[in-house]
Amino acid sequence: MHDNCPVCKQKFELETGFWFGTGYVSYALGVALSVFNLIWFWLFIGLTWRDNSIMVWLAVNGVILLLCQPWLMRISRVIYLYFFVYYDEETASLLEEK
């Protein structure tokens, strides 16, 4: 990951340990993805206490979460940065003219 934005030079790590907060965003995204996986698994494959379908869902969900981890990490950093850095359209258009 860059230290600064290649276009506008915005510093990404605003203070030491700034990225610790992304853990909470990443956690929320992980829970949301798990709920999404639970819903489609329930609808298309089926979940019941009578067999081990819940264990199958746990395994499938774990694999999907692992595969999505690089993407979840980056997207949570973007979301976290958006909490603190405002996108200014005028400044952006000025930078484009250069």
Q: Which is nearer to Zn ion, 39 or 94 (CB)?
A: 94
Distance of CA 66 to the CA centre of its chain: 12
Residues that bind Zn ion (CB under 5 A): 5, 7-8, 10
Q: Are 38 and 84 in contact (CB under 8 A)?
A: no
Q: Which is nearer to Zn ion, 20 or 87 (CB)?
A: 87
Q: Which of 78, 84, 86 is nearest to 25 (CA)?
A: 78
Q: Which is nearer to Zn ion, 10 or 53 (CB)?
A: 10
Residue 8 C-beta: closest distance to Zn ion, Å: 3
Residue 6 C-beta: closest distance to Zn ion, Å: 7
